[in-house]
A and B are shown apart, each in its own frame.
Chain A
Amino acid sequence: MKSTKILNKNSSLIFLLILLGFTILVTFTSEAFGSGFISTSFLKVLGKTLCLAIVAIAMDLVWGYTGILSLGHFAFFGLGGYMIGMWLMYERTREIVQTSLSEATIPPTPDEVIDAIGNQIFGVVGSSDFPIIWIFSNSLFMQLALVILVPCFLAFIFGWLAFRSRVTGVYLSILTQAMTLALALYLFQNDSGLRGNNGLSGLQNIPGMDKINQSFISIYFFWASACALAFFYLVADWLVSGKFGSVLKGIRDDESRIRFLGYPVENYKLFIFIFSAGIAGIAGALYYPQAGIINPAELAPIASIYLAVWVAIGGRGKLYGAVIGAVFVSLVSSRFTSGQIPDLNIGNYTIAWVDWWLVILGITFVLVTIFTPKGLGGLVDLFHKGKITGRYDRDFGPEQGSLRKKEASK
């Protein structure tokens, strides 16, 4: 126990050092503070990637540690983005409207200003009134609170219903898919109050920071994302390393046994589900200002499935595995799908990577599942365990003929 504890601390420390090194490296090669080797647009990609790593940690908590395969975590991520997007859009539009109205000969009344803002924001869906859900959009503090509260509330309602009726396994996964699909379909409607399929845009323009160049804003967001990643990594590590983590892993491995030990399994599942929804919301709130736009397509079921694929490829049940998976796969994926890799001509057929990338990803997923069930993060383990005990995956028991690891885990 003690030795694993130290190992844990070590792996957190190594992770934080790598993250710090990466942040410094990026800072000094950015356009704002350094050589300009990294373009601002690529810097945004990196910043967004860190946010994806955060939501991957959230996913790992529920899936890798507690065994709840949630295929709807991007609903929470998207909601976080929408919540911060509402304030960004309102405040930014207010600035513009106020500047233009101040040139008028008669000063506008506050009502006129509000109407003008509403017109600007909702004109695109044929409306000019603020829907009730925008009631707090003029307050940064309230919208920041909603970034956490709204995803947590959705997770609470969903989790309370699902876990209490003991829906588990693939049925639960399907329900989570349905949840995110239903939410996306709802948001696609023009009268949902969030501008339908137009979504919220112009989020990269931070109110009150007009004078500041995007290259600086991008690096600020990059730093914020890196800090959030470090913070949530440590929190998640604390959560899973103690007795609480033991119970979570117990629920994953044998739910009914944990029940007979007297632990109210539903409460634990609900707790971790809500907690990870909150993390996902915060990650989304950091992601979308860097992306600049959010629309309901972001909440499509496929996004949440990608998340599960990242965590599986990276290695679930390991926090660094989830981070490796999210960073590696999403970076490679954005490279392939952005058309930066030249098409490959093989005789009478040309492989267009943009189309073939999904196939490659699918094959990789299958291969990883078969050959390294612990994912890329498992390779670190392999190296580690082999060195320390020198008995990785040999006979599991003390006697001849006792269970091997594979049989034991059945």
Chain B
Amino acid sequence: MSSLLEVSGISVSFDGFKAINNLSFSIGNPELRAIIGPNGAGKTTFMDIITGKTKPEAGYVKWGEKNINLIGLSEAKIAQLGVGRKFQKPTVFEEQSIRSNLLMSIKKNRNPFSVLYSKTTIEDEEKITSILDEIGLSQQTKRAAGELSHGQKQWLEIGMLLAQEPQLLLVDEPAAGMSPFEREHTTELLLEAAKTRAVVVVEHDIEFIRRLNCRVTVLHEGSVLAEGSLDHVTSNQDVIDVYLGR
């Protein structure tokens, strides 16, 4: 399996504090991967680096078949290359309708002039309909996204990511604040998405990760502590000491 994303030896520090310390990571396509780690382990910073929000001091991030170095590219450019990111807090555009939210996300030319003259094609409509079905919001396209419940917003955001057609999906705590039923639906969405692309899930909840049934990477103090199946890492003494033992 050739790797889609290869992160090698990256380090970044904030005011002398090493948030990421010589971290290496790689993921294939398709693959589902969970990242766990205590607070301050560098999970969010790691995502920031891949998506271009933070520039690392050392190391490289290679992307895709052409081995493009993502470091130094703008967030927008990286997103256009096929990296989608879901934030911890659901961030949808609350004043706009569910449909507008999805329409904005559909993979298309993003430069201002082509957006200005863009027409919504039949394919776009079909895509929106199928995504709405998948995320279970097909009855409510005209509603403002702000009217949705917390869980529905999370799904809408996942739907927006699917519309973006990324090759790599970075998902930050998708199940936070969800009811058991909502969690189940979220699990299904992620498993389905991971069939055709790489998905990285950052999550605190071990039960949720168990249901994803995938490889797990444990981060601690900015580097990889352990990697393997959930049972493998949870039986690792280091992991128990720093994370599970608390």
Contact = CB atoms under 8 A, between A and B. Distances in A.
Interface string B80-122: 1000110100010111110110011100001110011010100
A1 B112 CA distance: 22
B189 interface: no
B26 to A, nearest CB: 22
Interface residues on A, range: 35 or more
A264 B118 contact: no
A108 to B, nearest CB: 51
A263 B76 contact: yes
B93 A259 contact: no
Contacts of B53: 256
Given A256-B75, A398-B147, A261 B112 contact: no
B45 interface: no
A247 B115 contact: yes
A271 B146 CA distance: 28
B79 interface: yes
A272 to B, nearest CB: 9
Contacts of B149: 397-399, 402
A207 interface: no
Interface string B59-77: 0000000000000001111
Contact of A244 (B112, B146, B164): B112
A62 to B, nearest CB: 14
Contacts of A398: 147-149
A202 to B, nearest CB: 41
Contacts, number: 97
A265 interface: yes
Contact of B146 (A4, A247, A265, A408): A408
B79 A253 contact: no
A396 B146 contact: yes
Contacts of A250: 93, 96, 104
A262 interface: yes
B229 interface: no
A1 B97 contact: yes
A243 B115 CA distance: 7
Interface in B145-194: 146-150, 160, 164
A271 B95 CA distance: 23
A213 interface: no
Contacts of A244: 112, 115-116, 118
A268 interface: yes
A393 B148 CA distance: 14
Contacts of B115: 243-244, 247, 263
B148 to A, nearest CB: 7
A364 interface: no
Contacts of B164: 261-262
A262 B79 contact: yes
A405 interface: yes
Contact of A261 (B97, B118, B120, B160): B160
B94 A253 contact: yes
Contact of A246 (B94, B103, B110): B103
A249 interface: yes
A250 B100 CA distance: 10
Given A260-B79, A260-B85, A262-B80, A253 B147 contact: no
Contacts of A262: 76, 79-80, 110, 164
A342 to B, nearest CB: 45
B80 A405 contact: no
B112 A397 contact: no
Most buried by B among A250, A259, A403, A409: A259
A408 B160 CA distance: 19
By CB atoms of chain A within 10 A, which of B84, B93, B103, B118 has the most? B93
Nearest to B85: A260
B211 interface: no
Contacts of B210: none
A254 interface: yes
A100 interface: no
B112 A402 contact: no
B76 A254 contact: no
A3 interface: yes
Interface string A64-79: 0000000000000000
B129 interface: no
A409 B110 contact: no
Contacts of B142: 1-4
A405 B144 CA distance: 11
A11 interface: no
B75 A246 contact: no
A243 B147 CA distance: 21
A271 B112 contact: yes
A252 B100 CA distance: 15
Given A244-B112, A254-B93, A398-B148, 17 more contacts: A2-B142, A4-B97, A242-B116, A242-B118, A243-B115, A243-B118, A246-B96, A249-B95, A256-B53, A257-B87, A260-B79, A260-B85, A262-B76, A264-B77, A268-B112, A398-B147, A402-B150
Interface of A: 1-4, 239, 242-244, 246-247, 249-250, 253-254, 256-257, 259-265, 267-268, 271, 396-399, 402-403, 405, 408-409
Nearest 3 CB-CB pairings of A with B: A262-B79, A259-B75, A262-B80
Interface of B: 51, 53, 74-77, 79-80, 84-85, 87, 91, 93-97, 99-100, 103-105, 110-112, 115-116, 118, 120, 141-142, 146-150, 160, 164
11 contacts: A3-B142, A243-B100, A244-B112, A250-B104, A261-B79, A263-B115, A264-B110, A265-B76, A402-B150, A403-B150, A408-B94
